[in-house]
Amino acid sequence: MSYAVKEMFYTLQGEGAQAGRASLFCRFAGCNLWSGREQDRHKAVCQFCDTDFVGMDGPGGGRFASADKLAARARQMWDETAAGENGQPYIVCTGGEPLLQLDPPLIAALHAAGFEIAVETNGTIEAPAGIDWICVSPKAGSELVQKAGHELKLVWPQPPFALEQFEPLAFDRFYLQPMDGPYVAANTRLCVETAMARPKWRLSLQTHKIIGIA
């Protein structure tokens, strides 16, 4: 199949357990919980999205006709920007919802190109086998299907979610990430207080926004 990519860019992972790690971000176009159009936001399942994932017009974006072509371009970008042999090439597949497109042929092609593969997913689609780092970020009003992974990163607060419903799930790490938007300061204070009251949870800040990188 072909792949619709909004943008590909080299930066530091800003969030969660891998924050600070050099990463090639591949942002797939499209999401199953919002059209991405502002006029639809109020009726979307997920209404707080901070991302433009519509179209293929961003830097490094486009339609890739095959898994091999996408993987080759990703590896080329990694080698142009990172020191090729210094460190494990790391690609973060995000979106939009990456699991609408990240399929076994693309996982195989990215591995063959030398990448460790991470995914940022809303958890509504079962992750295919072979992904090296699964970050699930559940969305209220959607069905959580992917109930295991390396980190659960909950944007908080998100009524009617309660933390107790996630604590039994099979994730290695649990993060609270303040919901960005008009109440980000109050949301950050709440996450700090909650992480201190419930040590199973740790604070995840969107550090790329704080320091002003992509």
Ligand X SMILES: Nc1nc2[nH]cc(C(=O)O)c2c(=O)[nH]1
Residues annotated as catalytic (active site), given as ranges: 25, 31, 46, 49-51, 120, 208
Could you say whether residue 47 binds ligand X (CB under 6 A)? Answer: no
Q: How far apart are CA 9 and CA 60, in angstroms?
A: 7
The single residue among 49, 106, 117, 131 that binds ligand SAM, judged by CB under 6 A, is 49
Could you say whether residue 13 binds ligand X (CB under 6 A)? Answer: yes
180: annotated binding-site residue? yes
Would you tell me the crossing angle of helices 104-112 and 67-81 to the nearest 10 degrees? 40
177: annotated binding-site residue? yes
For residue 57, the tally of other CB atoms under 10 A from its CB is 11
Question: Residues 129, 35, 206, 173: is their CA dihedral positive or negative?
Answer: negative
Question: Residues 125, 96, 115, 112: is their CA dihedral positive or negative?
Answer: positive
Work out how close the CB of 130 gets to ligand X at its nearest, in angstroms, rounded to a whole number: 20
List, in order, residues 6 or more apart from 76 with CB less than 8 Å away.
none
The single residue among 180, 205, 207, 208 that binds ligand SAM, judged by CB under 6 A, is 180
**Of residues 183-202, which lie at the interface with ligand SF4 (CB under 6 A)?**
none
End-to-end CA distance of the chain: 28
Q: Which does 34 bind (CB under 5 to 8 A by kind): ligand SAM, ligand SF4, ligand X, none?
A: ligand SF4
Q: Which does 153 bind (CB under 5 to 8 A by kind): ligand X, ligand SF4, ligand SAM, none?
A: ligand SAM
Could you say whether residue 95 binds ligand SAM (CB under 6 A)? Answer: yes
Q: How far apart are CA 142 and CA 160, in angstroms?
A: 12
Could you say whether residue 177 binds ligand X (CB under 6 A)? Answer: no
Could you say whether residue 49 binds ligand SF4 (CB under 6 A)? Answer: yes
- Residue whose pair of structure tokens reads 């919802």 in the numeric block: 97
Q: Alpha helix (H) ranges present in the chain?
A: 67-81, 104-112, 184-197, 207-211
Query: Which parts are annotated binding residues for substrate?
Result: 12-14, 27, 94
Task: Give residues in contact with ligand SF4 (CB under 6 A).
Answer: 31, 33-34, 46, 49, 51, 53, 95-97, 122, 139
Query: Which parts are annotated binding residues for [4Fe-4S] cluster?
Result: 31, 46, 49
Query: Which parts are annotated binding residues for Mg(2+)?
Result: 51
